[in-house]
Structure 1
Amino acid sequence: MNKTPASTDSASSKSARLLPAPTHPSLPVKSLRWYADSTAFPFPSTAHVDPLNGIIGQQRALDALTMGAEIASPGYNIFVSGLSGTGRLTTIKSILERITPNGQIPHDYAYVNNFHDPDQPTLLKFPKGKAAPFQRAMHDAISFLQGRIPKMFEEETFRTGRTKIIEEFQQREQQLLRAFEEELRPDGFTLGQVKAGNGAVQPEILPVINGKAYPIAALDQLVKENAITAEQARAIGENYTRRHRDLYQLARNGMKLSQEFQQELGDFEAASAKLLIEATLDDLAMRFPFEAVIAYLEEVGNDILNNLDLFKQPQPEAAAQGTDDEAQPPASDDGALRTYQVNVVLDNAGTTGAPVIIETTPTYLNLFGTIERVPTQQGFWVSDFLMIKAGAILRADGGYLIINAADALSEPGVWKALKRVLLHRKLEIQPFESFVQSSTQGVAMKPQAIDLNVKVIMIGDPRLYQALFSMEEDFRKIFKISAEFDYEIARTDTVLIEYARFIRKLSDEEHLLHFDPDGVAAVVEYAVEKAGDMRKISLRFSDIADLLREASFWAERDTAEIVGRYHVEKAIRQMVERQSMWKEKIMERMIDGSLLIDTEGRMVGQINGLAVYSVGQISFGKPSRITATVAVGGHGIINIEREARMSGSLHNKGMLIIAGFLRHRFAQQRPLSMTAHIVFEQSYGGVDGDSASSTKSTPCFRP
């Protein structure tokens, strides 16, 4: 009866026996680093190689960028992802420089007053370089009319016609008054004038008594003086009341006559000025023969004719005439003639090919423009068409707009407005505050929308791209092209030579010293080290460029004429030195015994691990003691960092995998009767990574 359990124990013991560790060839220290052969660079210095034209590698990203930039269909905007310093912006510029000369010729845009609805300014679209000349020509035309119309009204022909109209009106007015007086005479009344309480003189019916006219209020006094009887006074009062109604009718007839006079005089003035106004504006229409402009000029002419009083006052000095394209555009003023000015919101006169706009501060205002406002004395905010300001997205019309994705998404309102513009391909310029307007901010203006043809290129992090693609439904509709930039490339002889050409290019652009072959070799060794793989070389050229600048600095400090290996290695040492404070602090604590590390002998349940810290561009290791205590129990491995919530998810996952391995390896026939506590000693900042998990499991085993 005892044989079966014994047999089971024997089988369990065999299954729990550890396999011998595999043997590996020794790894010399020198094999941990790749060293470049300077003979791979067959030139005296980088001054003897051609500068790099373009970038190194990134063919996948180049193909995606080229395709996205050349497809004109809606939605083919580009999201460029990759680590910073991999040449994303440089590559974009290079590709667009090749494409834009043959791109769409951009237009000019201007806003003008809408005479029917000033809250909806009218958009005028011009060929490139025509908006500013139209603005100046319009200013000159209005200035000309300001000076010429008053002079025209002073001419003898106009004055004669105007005098004739006035005399005819006066005659008709006198006839009206005489006819009324004739009606009053049989009743003993006459038409006179009295002064009202406000000092104004107004017509009045006056009774005539004994050949003299008296105001109606004097009747009582005349009765007292026995000039008339009370019965006569009462009869006069009754006739006065009856005739006073006729006086009201006379006033109405007089007002109607005055209106007819004003209309006739206005028609005469308009007819006199119409020929001058039409000739002036027709000249503009001939110089700018665009449908919307011609329609606008017609509206301007009608409005001027309806508001000739604005032009009647003589100007102290006539504005300079002419349409010199080099003249400066007029500054807007607050006068009544402001309504005839032109607000050029986009002038592409100096643009050649499709525009490429890089907006480094993608706020709502900088991207989409705004409508400025000014306060009134009553506390209201007012705007007009001259306060409309364009943003970068309009300046990029017909071309490309480059923005940083993280910066744009962090700005309030930008992403929502950008989606709207790219989905509908229309820009409605509105102030950012428009969605929080209160009643004191006045009526919101709604300028005519602009049809846009712009391609947006956003530069961002790969994780940001994935988050937008997964969580933002409209993102995949408007950013259909993804261009991914790699951070490394296979180390080949061709790539090494291209590195030398990159060094030449930067030296020329920033006036750095040239590098000899040993200096170039030191640079590419650093680039391979940055890649973390001897078979690869880094494509993060911003870091390489910093090294080149600093190496050139140290060479100049040494009065050297060329940069060698010594200067490159010195630049690297100095770079490390600048960021080594915490490394030195840790070393000091190890030396003075604050950090406990055993480096001799052996101890059961204890091992030294290496925690990797990164500070800036450098990484260094910090030895840490890892201890394990094991007792009989059934809890398995207890990760103290996890219990204290000081470990990351990767580390926790690794520890759980190890716990599963132990149960699979040693608990197939019977429970694993063990409770092990494992901890990084003197660790206060947390731990993460699966390599730390495997290291922490080592103290649980005896060799």
Structure 2
Amino acid sequence: MKDTLTPSALYQHCDLTQLVFETTDDLKPLNVPLGQQRALEAIEFGIDIEHEGYNLFVFGGSGLGKHQLVQQIVAERAASEATRSDWCYINNFDDAQKPKVLQLPVGMGQKFRKDMEALTEDLLTSLPSSFQSEEYRNRRQEIEGDFQERQEQAFKQLDKDAEERGIAIKRTPTGYTLGPVIDGQLFGPEEFKKLPTEEQERLEKLIADIQIELQDIIRDMPLLQREHHQRIKALNQEITQHTVEQLIAWIENAYRDNTEISNYLAAAKKHAIENVDFFLPNPTTPDVEDAGNRVAEFHEYRVNVIVDNTDTVGAPVIYEDNPTYQNLIGRVEYVSQMGTLLTDFTLIKSGALLRANGGYLILDAEKVLTHAFAWEGLKRVLKAQQIKIESLEEMLSLASTLSLEPESIPINIKVILTGEPTLYYLLKEYDREFSQLFKVAADFSQVTDRNTDSVRLYARLIAALQRRNATRALDRESVGRIIEHASRAADDREKLSLHVESLTDLLHEADYWAGKSKRGIIRLEDVEKSIEKRRYRQDKYRELMQEQIVRDIKFIDTDGETIAQVNALSVMQVGDYSFGQPSRITATARLGQSGVVDIEREVKLGGHLHSKGVMILSSYLASCFAPDQPLPLSASLVFEQSYGMVDGDSASAAELCVLLSALGHIPLKQSLAVTGSINQRGEIQAIGGVNEKIEGFFDICHARGLNGQQGVIIPTANKVHLMLNKDVRQAVTEHRFSIYTADHVNDVIELLTGQSIGVAEPTGDFPENSINRRVCDRINQLQTLHQQYGNHTDDKKSGTDGTQAI
């Protein structure tokens, strides 16, 4: 069945009686997203459920406001939840390469850090003072005096023994010299040689004995000195311990309820007592240099607060805009000293996963996947439920530098990914771990139903966006026009587009034009101008292609009749702007066996969907006109002056009509253009971009001059998608342009030819002069020719006597 559409069927106006307000300032803003109930329930479920693996993937087309909505919902939920912990890394005094982690109540991390800084400062000032006290000096002098006295006593006793034996011990710069004393005079070598031999031997023996005793005393000196050092060290440790215990008592008392801190303070106290020299001034270096060096020496007493939730209200909500591996997991930094890379636990930095620990982490899925190793790192953390901070080089075994092995941190987090539907389904298909870690999918809708309730809610949505973006208020007529534009954007008069980004852009642009006109509110003409100017800014390529047609550079006829030629309609996409363009399809049909040849496919310019459409029309043609015999036909179809890819099956109805025209030698009206796909029963199926296609052909006809005969044939199923522009509607109202609908290809061919398709009689024949009769007659002619040529070929292959010719 075919029908001619009236102007009222071409556009769905907004009923302004449904909008009971003067401006959007009178409306209560819509605080919940419109038409996203399914997604909202999924998000609520994913946030509430606490089992492992129930992270969320929120997906939908770009511009739907997914990210903003997710942040709003999560922030509201997080605000009512308990604030989580602070996380710190502290020195491991047993193994500095393996720092320990501290989990502290909120605010305690910074407090503990400051307390440890104060303690270190106290140690640096109080310990040197303790070693300069009078008590310490007296006790040390006592030890030093005792040591010196014992040294001197040993040598005095030896001197006395030697003197009694007539031997003198003389100290020289090179050591000790022993010699005999006779009559109070020390004998020299020359005098010694003058003594009798027996006397010399006696004295030499005495000297040897004294020398042995001297050697024993000298050999015992290191032991005596060691004892002396031990006594000094014990004194230092005693003083240190006393001072450190006094200084550290207050911090131990402040954190006595925290076992981990108490254990750390005990280890720090032990380390300070055993390494008291670290706290004492270095007399060999200037004070300024010494102070700088000493600051670097006391990293082991610092507290590295890597997560501070002091200012966080409720659970943390983190959005990481640059989700690299380091920004997600954390990193260990290095400093260069004398050409060497050095690090310690104070150079450990947290990542987004740790900052969001106990709360929510929102990530853009595409950004995570495009950063090297970020996706694998995220999955590893979610599977292990803990974070191990290590450099990427160390993880890949690419670094030979000695690094740290920080203690792993347990994690309890809800990760929310946002992205495109294609990305979600690709991960679902090709990443087996994805379904285990992201078990909740929240699918955002692109459109919502257009009815009285949704129109009123859409007006409130506009009011909410108007206030959020601080634009001028809109009057009722401008809101109604935006709602109509939303239906056009949805390609369905019974739907409304939920593309928040485009709606926001339209408000900004309308506000701009209202300002240019010095108006206090946005009116209908401002919205109209915004839509018109947006199209104008993107319309260069449409105008160039239209100009080629109007100047007859690209051949498109818009009047007259031609055999085997028809106008089809297609949609061109340039960025996010689409427009319609007519294309000429021609066909040839002749005797042969190759069937219908799609030239676009043969030269690899035809897509899969287009090839499918050609195969379907070939099947329909054979089943209708040659169901019981072969179809001896060689036909070809081509889009004329097409130099790029052709895809889609929306031209299959036009291709079938032009093929029937070529077979039956039936002229087709060039004043009409056709769009629609067919199935194997010849039924016309809906296609996309119907508004752009109609407007594209209308623009060509309008440029050449409308004569009342031009129009477009579309599938009946596409009536609900019509939201045509004002120029087309005006032309239809004035009967200068027509829009027809068709349910079957028979309706299309009748409109294109002005002839009857013809219904088969009981005998199986079609009426005279009908389209089907002319096509059948031509096919019968081809069958006869095929048989004649077949017999002639058989005669040539066989001799007159029946023998086979070779």
Q: Does 1:356 align with 2:317?
A: yes
Offset of 1:238 from its aligned partner?
13
Once the two structures are superposed, residues 520-571 of structure 1 have per-residue CA deviations (whole angstroms, 9 ceiling, x without a partner) of: 1001001111111111111111111111111111111101122121111110
**Matched-pair contact (CA < 8 Å) for 2:566–2:585:** yes
What percent identity do the matched residue pairs reach?
32
**Matched-pair contact (CA < 8 Å) for 2:180–2:203:** no
Distance (whole Å) between structure 2 residues aligned to residue 249 and residue 71 of structure 1 = 83
Distance (whole Å) between structure 1 residues aligned to residue 523 and residue 247 of structure 2 = 74
Between 524-533 and 50-59, report the one with greater CA deviation.
50-59
**Matched-pair contact (CA < 8 Å) for 1:625–1:680:** yes
- Which residue is equivalent to 1:428? 388
- Which residue is equivalent to 1:41? 19
Offset of 1:476 from its aligned partner?
1.1
Aligned pairs for 1:568-579 (under 5 A) are 568-579=527-538
- Which residue is equivalent to 1:15? none
**Matched-pair contact (CA < 8 Å) for 1:39–1:517:** no
Offset of 1:365 from its aligned partner?
2.1
Offset of 1:512 from its aligned partner?
0.9
Equivalent of 1:256 in 213, 218, 223 = 223
Distance (whole Å) between structure 2 residues aligned to residue 124 and residue 335 of structure 1 = 22
Aligned residues: 651
- Which residue is equivalent to 1:19? none
Distance (whole Å) between structure 2 residues aligned to residue 660 and residue 129 of structure 1 = 76
SS of 1:79's partner is: strand
- Which residue is equivalent to 1:62? 40
SS of 1:627's partner is: strand
Q: Does 1:402 align with 2:362?
A: yes
Distance (whole Å) between structure 1 residues aligned to residue 549 and residue 522 of structure 2 = 38
TM score, norm. by length of structure 2: 0.75
Once the two structures are superposed, residues 586-626 of structure 1 have per-residue CA deviations (whole angstroms, 9 ceiling, x without a partner) of: 11211222212122222222212122012244321122111
- Which residue is equivalent to 1:607? 566
Q: 1:177 to 1:120 in 2, by over 3 A?
A: farther
- Which residue is equivalent to 1:282? 249
SS of 1:483's partner is: strand
Offset of 1:632 from its aligned partner?
2.2
**Matched-pair contact (CA < 8 Å) for 1:630–1:674:** yes
Q: 1:496 to 1:151 in 2, by over 3 A?
A: same
Equivalent of 2:423 in 429, 447, 464 = 464
TM score, norm. by length of structure 1: 0.85
**Matched-pair contact (CA < 8 Å) for 1:207–1:236:** no
Q: 1:205 to 1:474 in 2, by over 3 A?
A: farther
- Which residue is equivalent to 1:511? 470
Once the two structures are superposed, residues 391-415 of structure 1 have per-residue CA deviations (whole angstroms, 9 ceiling, x without a partner) of: 1111111110001000011111111
Q: Which amino acid aligns with 2:26?
A: H
Q: 1:170 to 1:353 in 2, by over 3 A?
A: same
Q: 1:50 to 1:173 in 2, by over 3 A?
A: same
- Which residue is equivalent to 2:130? 152
Gaps of 5+ in 2: 662-770, 772-806
Once the two structures are superposed, residues 254-311 of structure 1 have per-residue CA deviations (whole angstroms, 9 ceiling, x without a partner) of: 3333333222211211112212212322211222331111111111101111111122
Q: Does 1:389 align with 2:356?
A: no
SS of 1:596's partner is: coil
Q: Which amino acid aligns with 2:462?
A: I
Q: Which has the higher contact order (CA 8 A, sep 6+)?
A: 1
Offset of 1:118 from its aligned partner?
0.8
- Which residue is equivalent to 1:126? 104
Aligned pairs for 1:125-204 (under 5 A) are 125-175=103-153, 192=171, 194=173, 204=175
Once the two structures are superposed, residues 327-355 of structure 1 have per-residue CA deviations (whole angstroms, 9 ceiling, x without a partner) of: xxxx9985212221111111111111111
Distance (whole Å) between structure 1 residues aligned to residue 32 and residue 592 of structure 2 = 66
Distance (whole Å) between structure 2 residues aligned to residue 333 and residue 650 of structure 1 = 76
Distance (whole Å) between structure 2 residues aligned to residue 548 and residue 240 of structure 1 = 115
Distance (whole Å) between structure 2 residues aligned to residue 651 and residue 251 of structure 1 = 108
Aligned pairs for 1:217-616 (under 5 A) are 253-288=220-255, 289-313=257-281, 335-377=296-338, 379-438=339-398, 441-616=400-575
SS of 2:651's partner is: helix
Q: 1:212 to 1:681 in 2, by over 3 A?
A: farther
- Which residue is equivalent to 1:629? 588
Offset of 1:360 from its aligned partner?
1.4
Offset of 1:30 from its aligned partner?
4.2
Gaps of 5+ in 1: 1-22, 196-203, 215-221, 319-330
Q: Which amino acid aligns with 2:453?
A: T
- Which residue is equivalent to 1:83? 61
Q: Which amino acid aligns with 2:5?
A: L
Q: 1:304 to 1:245 in 2, by over 3 A?
A: farther
Q: Which amino acid aligns with 1:41?
A: L
Once the two structures are superposed, residues 234-259 of structure 1 have per-residue CA deviations (whole angstroms, 9 ceiling, x without a partner) of: 99999999999998876664333333
**Matched-pair contact (CA < 8 Å) for 2:333–2:349:** yes
Q: Which amino acid aligns with 1:360?
A: D
SS of 1:111's partner is: strand
- Which residue is equivalent to 2:746? none
Equivalent of 1:95 in 69, 73, 80 = 73
SS of 2:417's partner is: strand
Once the two structures are superposed, residues 140-162 of structure 1 have per-residue CA deviations (whole angstroms, 9 ceiling, x without a partner) of: 11111211111111111111111
Q: 1:470 to 1:566 in 2, by over 3 A?
A: same
SS of 1:335's partner is: helix
SS of 1:110's partner is: strand
Q: Which amino acid aligns with 2:511?
A: S
Q: Does 1:117 align with 2:95?
A: yes
Once the two structures are superposed, residues 483-516 of structure 1 have per-residue CA deviations (whole angstroms, 9 ceiling, x without a partner) of: 1111111112111111211222222222211111
Once the two structures are superposed, residues 54-83 of structure 1 have per-residue CA deviations (whole angstroms, 9 ceiling, x without a partner) of: 211211111110111111221111100111
Distance (whole Å) between structure 2 residues aligned to residue 580 and residue 332 of structure 1 = 69
Offset of 1:26 from its aligned partner?
1.5
**Matched-pair contact (CA < 8 Å) for 2:585–2:640:** yes
Q: 1:529 to 1:162 in 2, by over 3 A?
A: same
Q: Which amino acid aligns with 1:678?
A: L
Q: Which amino acid aligns with 1:310?
A: F
**Matched-pair contact (CA < 8 Å) for 1:83–1:461:** yes
**Matched-pair contact (CA < 8 Å) for 1:64–1:483:** yes
Q: 1:180 to 1:357 in 2, by over 3 A?
A: farther
**Matched-pair contact (CA < 8 Å) for 2:319–2:361:** yes
Between 26-35 and 482-491, report the one with greater CA deviation.
26-35
Q: 1:148 to 1:334 in 2, by over 3 A?
A: closer
Q: 1:192 to 1:542 in 2, by over 3 A?
A: same
SS of 1:582's partner is: helix
**Matched-pair contact (CA < 8 Å) for 1:190–1:213:** no
**Matched-pair contact (CA < 8 Å) for 2:90–2:303:** yes
Distance (whole Å) between structure 1 residues aligned to residue 524 and residue 187 of structure 2 = 122
Offset of 1:132 from its aligned partner?
0.6
RMSD: 3.4
